[in-house]
């Protein structure tokens, strides 16, 4: 065997491990009808033990219904749901001893923070001494050690969400369900809590299924992301793969910004574009430079197009340009570097596209 063969077999080994990892949660052709509306339609999905899986989709795409089905709050109209290999489709929530915790509940307003965390332990019949120890440890873990005696109304929104998360974690169940866990928070706090959830996941290793409509949250937290649309799975992939290689127009536009290169000016050869697809490029993949006397000549790797700047928006470390090319407007994003030339409305510019950055997505 050559030395190089060793390293090339590594990714394969990883793929194999992923396939043989036990599935902790499995949806098998699950449909949930509400009258004529299929909230979830023929959903098949496996979640591995210890995985952080995010269900991402617009409002009404069936995300919460998927979690409710798993938690047993609603039953499927057809199909099967398995937890650790056992069918639970006809088992009501309170009989599902697989230990699912649903975070979306509000805190009990009449109980202190300490009592809120103690409640699930008390329900399980844990003795007072051990309850106190566990609650104290968890409060410390979520940086709320000094807040045990406060009532929920005496906490900020972010603190309340941390308590809710702590209460979900303390129950010590193998599966954690989070429904828009950071929905109510402002940007800074949300970023901070994302870091917190990630490190809690690393520490506790629970299989976590998180629902969100926030693409940034999904990209930051997840091992894999499921994009849902109208009750069905549009694509499942690791965050980077999903962003870099979206398979459909819907995914390309829902996750990040996408430029669809339908105008003839983009010079996409018709035979390069598989049937039923359209070419797409991400805004940060387009290079914008001054157009001096004439356009550079295209090569096998690159193509050059001229355009007219419509607008420039300065957004902290990034500049966002809108550039008119033929009848379309292309979005270009670039990092602001020292001494770099800026363009303003009306400027004629040269756009450089690497052909390998162009993706063909189902229309
Ligand atoms: P999401 O969480 O992605 O916003 P939901 O799972 O809440 O979506 O809803 C999916 C679809 O099912 C929507 O069209 C919604 O109106 C419908 N739906 C959800 N729950 C019910 C219900 N209890 N009764 C009737 N329709 C429902
Ligand atoms: Mg929802």
Q: What is the CATH number of the domain that holds 263?
A: 2.40.50.100
**Of the ranges 18-22, 247-251, 337-341, which one carries the lowest mean pLDDT score?**
18-22
- Of 220, 250, 280, the last residue of a domain is 250
**Domain identity same for 223 and 300:** no
Q: How far, in Å, from the CA of 331 to the mean position of ligand 2?
A: 31
**30 — alpha (psi -120 to 50), left (phi > 0) or beta?**
beta
Any atom of ligand 1 within 6 Å of the Cβ of 15: no
**Domain identity same for 85 and 209:** yes
**Domain identity same for 182 and 87:** yes
Ligand nearest to the Cα of 61, by number:
1
**Domain identity same for 227 and 270:** no
- If 0-12 CB within 10 Å is exposed, 13-18 middle and 19+ buried, where does residue 172 land? middle
In this prediction, residue 95 carries a pLDDT of 61
Ligand nearest to the Cα of 60, by number:
1
Share of the chain above pLDDT 70, in %: 90
Residue whose CB lies within 8 A of the most ligand 1 atoms, among 60, 69, 212, for a mutation test: 60
**Domain identity same for 218 and 302:** no
pLDDT at 26 over 80: yes
Between 101 and 11, the more confident residue is: 101
Domain annotation covers residue 137: no
Domain annotation covers residue 136: no
Ligand nearest to the Cα of 65, by number:
1
**Domain identity same for 213 and 344:** no
pTM over 0.75: yes
Between 8 and 136, the more confident residue is: 136
Question: Cα separation of 75 and 92, whole Å?
Answer: 8
What is the mean predicted confidence (pLDDT) over 89-118? 76
Domain annotation covers residue 109: no
Domain annotation covers residue 205: yes
Which residue has the CA at smallest separation from atom 21 of ligand 1? 34
**Domain identity same for 45 and 83:** yes
**Domain identity same for 222 and 342:** no
**Domain identity same for 332 and 244:** no
Domain annotation covers residue 111: no
Q: State the total domains in the chain.
A: 2
At 9, the pLDDT band (50, 70, 90 cuts) reads very low
* Ligand 1 atom nearest to 38, measured from its CA: 12
**Domain identity same for 243 and 262:** no
- Of 219, 250, 281, the last residue of a domain is 250
**Domain identity same for 194 and 88:** yes
Question: Cα separation of 214 and 107, whole Å?
Answer: 23
**Domain hosting residue 315, numbered range:** 258-362
Any atom of ligand 1 within 6 Å of the Cβ of 183: no
Which residue has the CA at smallest separation from atom 15 of ligand 1? 60
- Of 221, 250, 279, the last residue of a domain is 250
pLDDT per residue as tens digits for the range 222-259: 999 999 999 999 999 999 999 999 999 999 999 999 99
Q: CATH number of the domain at 211, please.
A: 3.40.50.300
Half-sphere exposure of 326 (CA within 13 A, CB side): 10
**82 — alpha (psi -120 to 50), left (phi > 0) or beta?**
beta
At 99, the pLDDT band (50, 70, 90 cuts) reads low
Q: How far apart, in Å, do the first and last CA atoms of the chain sit?
A: 45
Any atom of ligand 1 within 6 Å of the Cβ of 38: no
Domain annotation covers residue 157: no
**Domain identity same for 215 and 278:** no
pLDDT per residue as tens digits for the range 155-203: 988 888 888 888 888 877 888 888 888 876 778 878 888 888 898 899 8
C-beta of residue 169 within 8 angstroms of C-beta of residue 204: yes
pLDDT per residue as tens digits for the range 256-314: 999 999 988 888 888 888 999 999 999 999 999 999 889 999 999 999 999 999 999 98
């Amino acid at each position: 065997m050559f030395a190089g063969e060793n390293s090339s077999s590594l990714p394969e080994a990883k793929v194999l491990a992923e396939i043989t990892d036990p599935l902790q949660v499995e949806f098998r052709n699950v449909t949930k009808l509400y009258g004529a509306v299929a909230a979830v339609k023929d959903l098949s999905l496996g979640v591995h033990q210890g995985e952080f899986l995010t269900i991402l989709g617009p409002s009404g795409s069936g995300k919460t219904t998927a979690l409710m089905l798993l938690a047993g709050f609603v039953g499927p109209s057809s199909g099967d749901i398995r937890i650790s290999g056992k069918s639970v489709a006809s088992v009501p929530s309170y009989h599902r001893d697989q230990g699912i915790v649903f975070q979306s509940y509000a805190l009990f307003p009449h109980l202190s923070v300490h009592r809120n965390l103690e409640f699930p332990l008390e329900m399980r019949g844990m003795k007072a001494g051990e309850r106190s120890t566990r609650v104290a440890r968890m409060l410390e873990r979520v940086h709320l050690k000094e807040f045990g005696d406060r009532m929920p109304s005496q906490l900020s929104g972010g603190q309340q969400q941390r308590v809710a998360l702590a209460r979900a974690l303390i129950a010590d169940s193998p599966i954690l369900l989070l429904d828009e866990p950071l929905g109510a928070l402002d940007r800074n706090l949300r970023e901070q809590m994302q870091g917190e959830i990630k490190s809690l996941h690393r520490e506790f290793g629970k299989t976590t299924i998180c629902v969100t409509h926030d693409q940034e949250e999904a990209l930051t937290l997840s091992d894999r992301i499921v994009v849902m649309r109208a009750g069905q799975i549009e694509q499942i992939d690791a965050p980077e793969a999903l962003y870099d290689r979206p398979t459909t127009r819907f995914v390309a536009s829902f996750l990040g910004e996408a430029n669809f290169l339908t105008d003839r000016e983009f010079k996409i050869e018709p035979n390069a574009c598989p049937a039923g697809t359209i070419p797409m490029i991400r805004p940060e993949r387009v290079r914008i430079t001054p157009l001096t006397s004439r356009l550079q000549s295209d090569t096998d790797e690159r193509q050059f197009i001229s355009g007219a700047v419509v607008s420039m928006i300065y957004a902290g470390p990034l500049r966002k340009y809108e550039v008119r090319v033929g009848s379309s407007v292309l979005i270009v994003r670039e990092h602001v570097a020292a001494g770099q030339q800026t363009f303003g409305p009306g400027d004629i510019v040269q756009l450089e596209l690497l052909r390998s950055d162009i993706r063909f997505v189902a229309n």
